[in-house]
Chain A
């Protein structure tokens, strides 16, 4: 049994939610919300919260030193730092295009890490 306090982000109202759970972690009650979206948000945040992770990776032979990346979809919230650790080790080779996969199935989430910017290769001095 636990009561978890959250701020709903479904709309600018930002209702303060109280989500009650039983001993198995299942949601028994959501209160404080003014609409159904608040109830759904409260349940998901307590049972299976997810986030999209965005960051950068080193860009080898790129005009720019790094290129921005994101997880293609949202991933379980508790995997954020595991994903960041793999991102820290990853790199891409220029040129890259939006949607190029940098790491497939990152940190065992089943979600790919993809490039979010078209970034050219460094022009060689001739």
Chain B
């Protein structure tokens, strides 16, 4: 039986492996389904990664290489082109079934597992767009892979639905490669993408961003020949008379990311309804003892730097679990989101078990100016932070200190609200 298996060799898996080894775990195995480590960073060839961690702007592959080097230096074993197809509890530990072309079906036993499978793009099927089913409709990430890793340009006249960051990045990328990007349509009245990407990917190239617009029809039998875009009302219903046709051969979808938790479900991990990722405590441990989660499989991040930080935390806590040091009081205090806060990760903490400090990450559900974030326990305010601006597209974090807790708390409320006048 191995000590620790890590499912996924992207940024989360790599950082978790390095931290677990540095915390004393000798016997680690990383399982990666692609033919190289690095995960999604390999196709994110644009720059802007690593400002927090390395204080310089790296491209995705460069950021991945930094962590791959750390893994190589520590001689941490990994298997490539190996897809995990099942995860279950067995005896005192966990059993992993993986499949690879070279080795066929392989069974691995481990005392602890870190889930680092990342996320998947929301597909066309989840959108209910009417129209035909021709070729030429890609998720933005698929187009990114085709252009940046495989060297193909998937189309020449492009409409993009959804203004997520990958869609914005691909608007620029396709333009630079000689395609004409006609517009980006966004259902919401605001973009979920980073300001920087709207300026440098759309404004720089004169690509219009149509807020409160959506695709209402797709034309073409074999290949996309055009799409119809209409404005929507407050209830996201298309407004008759606002339809406009765009002749194009390609439609890219950038309409959200979903944590990929099939394996988590297989082993019985409880998922949180808002994030779609596992319900975890302050150690990033799920309801299944010895199963930890980090990165985009836990909740979708916007900065890889925070993925690396979170994954390192999972790695350290897996090491403590393996040393038998993670027994807490057995009584977790739930974190309750309030006001504009949609969710928190972790969803509960055990002050007896937590490290000296625990980062709590969360998102708000609306754009706010002059916001106030508070953490209260049974009416007592533990933390109060002002934020000039908060947005759904930007993950927030606060730090809880072990010394603040007596252990008698029954509930922690994490709230964000507009600051009241004169207070």
A interface residue count range (under 10 / 10 to 19 / 20 to 34 / 35 or more): 20 to 34
Chain A positions within 8 Å of B267 at CB level: none
Q: Out of A9, A14, A51, A117, which one reaches B62, CB within 8 Å?
A: A117
Chain A positions within 8 Å of B148 at CB level: 56, 66, 68
Would B151 and A13 count as touching, CB distance under 8 A? no
Report the separation of the CA atoms of residues A118 and B42 in the bound assembly, to the nearest whole angstrom.
11
CB distance from A80 to the nearest CB of B (A): 7
CB distance from A116 to the nearest CB of B (A): 4
A7 touches B (CB below 8 Å) = yes
Chain B positions within 8 Å of A56 at CB level: 45, 147-148, 151
What residue in chain A is nearest B393 (Cβ atoms)?
A12
- Known contacts being A13-B389, A54-B47, A116-B62, is A7 close to B199, with CB within 8 Å? yes
Would A65 and B200 count as touching, CB distance under 8 A? no
Would B391 and A51 count as touching, CB distance under 8 A? no
CB distance from A86 to the nearest CB of B (A): 12
A121 touches B (CB below 8 Å) = no
Chain B residues with a Cβ under 8 A of chain A: 42, 45-47, 57, 59, 61-62, 65, 147-151, 176-177, 194-196, 198-200, 203-204, 388-389, 391, 394
- Known contacts being A77-B204, A116-B62, is A13 close to B198, with CB within 8 Å? no
Would A51 and B204 count as touching, CB distance under 8 A? yes
Report the separation of the CA atoms of residues A105 and B218 in the bound assembly, to the nearest whole angstrom.
45
Would B195 and A14 count as touching, CB distance under 8 A? yes
Report the separation of the CA atoms of residues A9 and B202 in the bound assembly, to the nearest whole angstrom.
13
Chain A positions within 8 Å of B62 at CB level: 98, 116-117
Q: Which of B46, B194, B203 has the most CB of A within 10 A?
A: B46
Chain B positions within 8 Å of A13 at CB level: 388-389
**What 3 A-B pairs come out closest when comparing CB atoms?**
A117-B61, A68-B45, A14-B195
